[in-house]
Structures are given as C-alpha cells and as structure tokens.
Amino acid sequence: MSEDNIKRRAKGLDRAFDILDFLKEIGQPLRPNDIAKGIGSPKSTVYELVASLLERRVLEPVGKDGHVYLGRQLYFLGQAHLRHFDLSREADQALQEIVSQTRETAQMCLLNGRKYTVALMKEGERNFRITSDIGENAPIPWTASGRLLLGHLSDEQIVELIDERDFILPDGQRLPLATFLKEIRQATEEGFFSFDSVADTFTHCFAAPVRDERGVCICTLCIVAPRADAQSNYQEYRRVLIDSANRLARRIND
C-alpha cells in the first residue's frame, strides 16, 4: 500500500471517529447531511463513511427518514473491553465500598480528550439522590477531578489542552488561569481536592487520584454530597475517599 493510500485511510478513520463522537455528544439520531455540517466535513465523505459504518453495524438506521445513530456493535465492543479492563471492574467495587461507608453518590471520572467525563457511578443510599449522566462530557475547569487529572502536565500543556471557552463558568464568571494552575499544583501535591460544585448550588464535590506506577493520575474517585452533609462529614469523607483511591491504585498496579 502506498504512503498516500495509508494517509487517506488514516484520515478516513479520523473522520469516522468524528462521526461517532459527534453522535455521542448530540445524543440523538441525525441525518448524514446534519452530521457533515456538525463536524465540518464534506457531505460525500460523510455519506460514504456512514454507509460503511452501517454495513458493520457500528451505526444503525433509525426510522424511515435516513437518520442514523450509534449501533449495537459498539455495545458488544464495549463489553469486550470491560471484560479485559481491570480498572473498571476494580473501580466498580471501590465505588460500592464508598457508598456503603458514606451513603453518598460515588463516581469514577476520567479525561476524555479535552473534556472530563463520569465513567462509572454508584448512587447514594439516601432518599434524596444525586445522579449524573455517565459519559457526558464537561469542561475540565468546572470539576474537582480536573485539578488532579492534569497534574502530570506542564503549564504550557494544560493551556494547550483546554478550550479557552471552558474557563467560563456556568454563572458567567471567568476562572483565572493562574488560579486554576495553582489549584492543580496544590491538589497534586496533597492528593486531594474538593469544592462547592460550580454546576449547581447544592452539592460539594470531593476527588482523590488513582495513580499508576509512574505516579500519573489515570482516573479519580469522587464523592458528590449535599453541601450541608459534606461540611458535617468533611474529614470522614476525605479519609474514606483517599483510602479507597489508594487501595484501588494498589490493586491495579500489583
């Protein structure tokens, strides 16, 4: 295969993933024409890739108007991944332990490209429950976990990674870059970060890093609690979370 053919196929693969990422982000079936507009790709290219993805059941047709959405083949691939991905299995157990000790909602969070996402979650054992959409992307600066997940990067790499618009918080105020960088360095050194959620007015978020053998934070474990309960039980929640994150790190690194 010539070098030009290899480059074309690689570019086509990038576009295919753009299609999948865009459908995941939008969260509903779309026509190929709308997908092309959304990802800024030529219609002919998108139609060709959609046809190929439909053939492989990576996409599936929805309705009679030409809409397509993520297909069941992705589910089977995801299940195969989970069977061989120790982190997910071990983290699921860690989250259950956190919930049993605190009764609060527990999450495992990751970076997803230039965004933050909740990968796993266990709801709290309270009548009033806090939930989150698994897999939904959020701006990194909006999150407690973001201060830990970026700790291995230089200031320059962090600035390059984060979209400038993501420093605008939900209330319209801008998070100063200097403040964000300082919080990252402090959180990385302490192995913990917590703050009142910027996404709502009633929860407090705790986060602790799960580090690999090199000391890089590969994910975080989190507790999301009502602010009053977080204040009353702050030291206990902090202890439980850090202990759970450290145990998880030992299990996956052994």
Residues 235, 129 share a domain: yes
pLDDT of residue 213: 87
Average confidence (pLDDT) over 102-130: 86
Percent with pLDDT over 70 in the chain: 90
Percent with pLDDT over 90 in the chain: 56
Residues 176, 104 share a domain: yes
Average confidence (pLDDT) over 91-120: 92
Residues 203, 128 share a domain: yes
- What secondary structure does DSSP assign to 162-176, as a single string? S-GGGGB-TTSPBPP
pLDDT of residue 228: 92
pLDDT of residue 131: 61
Q: In the structure, what pLDDT confidence band is assigned to residue 127 with cuts at 50, 70 and 90?
A: low
Residues 62, 130 share a domain: no
| End residue of a domain, out of 25, 52, 75 | 75
Distance CA 49, CA 65 (A): 18
Query: What are the angstrom distances between the C-alpha of 227 and each of 108, 140, 141, 200, 223?
Result: 20, 21, 20, 11, 11
pLDDT value at 97 more than 60:
yes
pLDDT value at 173 more than 80:
yes
Distance CA 171, CA 222 (A): 23
Q: How many domains does the chain have?
A: 2
Residues 210, 128 share a domain: yes
pLDDT one-digit tens code per residue, 51-87: 999 988 899 999 888 999 998 888 878 777 665 556 7
Residues 198, 115 share a domain: yes
pLDDT of residue 6: 61
Residues 180, 245 share a domain: yes
pLDDT of residue 15: 87
Residues 108, 225 share a domain: yes
pLDDT value at 4 more than 90:
no
pLDDT value at 1 more than 60:
no
Question: Which residues form the domain of 45?
Answer: 3-75
Average pLDDT, the chain: 88
- SS3 for 203? strand
pLDDT of residue 125: 78
pLDDT one-digit tens code per residue, 176-226: 999 999 999 999 999 999 999 887 778 999 999 999 888 999 999 999 999
Instruction: List all residues 6 or more positions away from 250 whose beta carbon is below 8 Å from its beta carbon.
Output: none
